Amino acid sequence: MKYKDYYRILGVERSAGAADIKKAYRKLAHKYHPDVSKDPEGEDKFKEVAEAYETLGNPEKRAAYDQLGRFQPGQEFQPPPDWGKRFGDSQFSFEDVDLADLFAGLSAGRHGAGPGRGQFRMPGQDYEVTAHISLAQAYRGTEVELNLTVPEFDAKGFLHNVPRTFKVRIPKGATDGQRLRLTGRGGKGLNGGRDGDLYLNIALHPHPLFRVSGHDLYLDLPLAPWEAVLGATVEVPTLAGPVSLKVPPNTRAGQQLRLSRRGLPKPSGGEGDLFAIAQIVVPAAPSEREQTLFKQLAESSTFNPRGHFQQEVKNGN
C-alpha cells in the first residue's frame, strides 16, 4: 500500500488542532472545489484535499492514521500487524488497497459496507465525467469510450478503485456545456438500492471555421469589396455540406446573414441557425490592373465613409 501524507496535503503540522485542520481544509476547498474553481486541475486537487480531511477531520480516523507511522508520500508500507482488526479481519491483505478506500471502509463498516455489512439498501454512486467531442460528432450524434476510475466493492465488501471503460451513446442535441444523464450507468446499488447514474458534461473541441453559441453557429464570411457592393452568390460550408448563399448588394462588414436551421440539432427537435458574418477583405498584393481600377473608383466616387466624424464635431460632441 502506498503512503499518502494527509498532513502535508492540507499543509498543517502533525500536531495541528481540529480547528486548524478544518480551517486549512476550507481554505483549500475554496481554492480547488470544482464547482467554484477555474483551475483545470482543481477537481483532482480537491479530491486529494477532501480525502485528507475525511480522515484528519475525524478524531477516530485521525488516530488510526497516526498509528500507521510516518513515511514518504508514495512510499510502499505495511500497516502495523494488528491494524486489520479494525476491519474485523486480521488476515486482510492491504496489497492493492488505496489508503482512501481503507479509511472509507473504516466508516462504512459501521454503516453497512465492509466485511459483514448489513442489509441496508444503498444507492449506487453517480459518476460525472466530461466527454470531449467534435462539432461534427455533436451534429450527427456519436458513441464515445470513456475511461474512469470508479470505486467498487470486492467480494469481502472492501472498496477498491477500479479502472472501467464506458461505451456511451451521445444522441443528437449536444452542445458545449450541456449535460446528459444516463440512468443506471453509475455504480451498482447494494441490497436492492437503485443503480447510480452517469452524468456526461459535453465539451466541444474548437472548430477551425464555426464558433458555437448554444445551438447556433457563427462563421466568418470573407467578401471581396466588389462582392459586398454588387452582391454575389457564394458557397459556404455547413455541417451538412456546402450550400449556396446569396449575399445581397451593399452588404456591410459585420452584417450577419442567417442560414436558417443550419446550426446544431436541438434536443427538443428543430435546429439552431448558422450566421455568416460578413467581412470585407482586400487582396494582400493587388495586381497593377486592380490598382488602376481602384484608383479610377477613388477618383470618381463621392462616398465618404467618415462623414459622420465631421458631423459629430460640428454638433459639439
Q: Applying CB under 8 A, which residues contact other proteins?
A: 26, 29, 33, 35-36, 46, 50, 167, 169-171, 173-174, 176-185, 195, 197, 199, 211-214, 216, 218, 220, 222, 253-254, 256, 267-268, 275, 277, 279, 281
Q: Cell match 436541438: residue?
A: 266
CB of 282 or CB of 313, closer to other proteins: 282
Query: CA-CA distance, 20 to 84, in Å (whole number)?
Result: 30
Least Å distance, CB 263 to other proteins, is 11
Least Å distance, CB 268 to other proteins, is 4
CB of 62 or CB of 211, closer to other proteins: 211
Least Å distance, CB 72 to other proteins, is 29
C-alpha cell of residue 141: 450524434
Query: CA-CA distance, 281 to 224, in Å (whole number)?
Result: 6
CA-based nearest residue to 279, from 208, 224, 216? 224
What DSSP string runs through 37-105? ---TTHHHHHHHHHHHHHHHTSHHHHHHHHHT----TT-B----GGGGGGGT-TT---TT--HHHHHHH
CB of 75 or CB of 256, closer to other proteins: 256
CA-based nearest residue to 212, from 303, 137, 158, 104? 137
Least Å distance, CB 16 to other proteins, is 18
C-alpha cell of residue 66: 497516526
CB of 8 or CB of 181, closer to other proteins: 181
Query: CA-CA distance, 110 to 255, in Å (whole number)?
Result: 66
Which pairing describes strands 243-247 and 232-236: parallel, antiparallel, or unpaired?
antiparallel
Least Å distance, CB 299 to other proteins, is 28
CB of 243 or CB of 253, closer to other proteins: 253
Termini Cα distance of the chain? 75
Least Å distance, CB 42 to other proteins, is 12
CB of 19 or CB of 313, closer to other proteins: 19
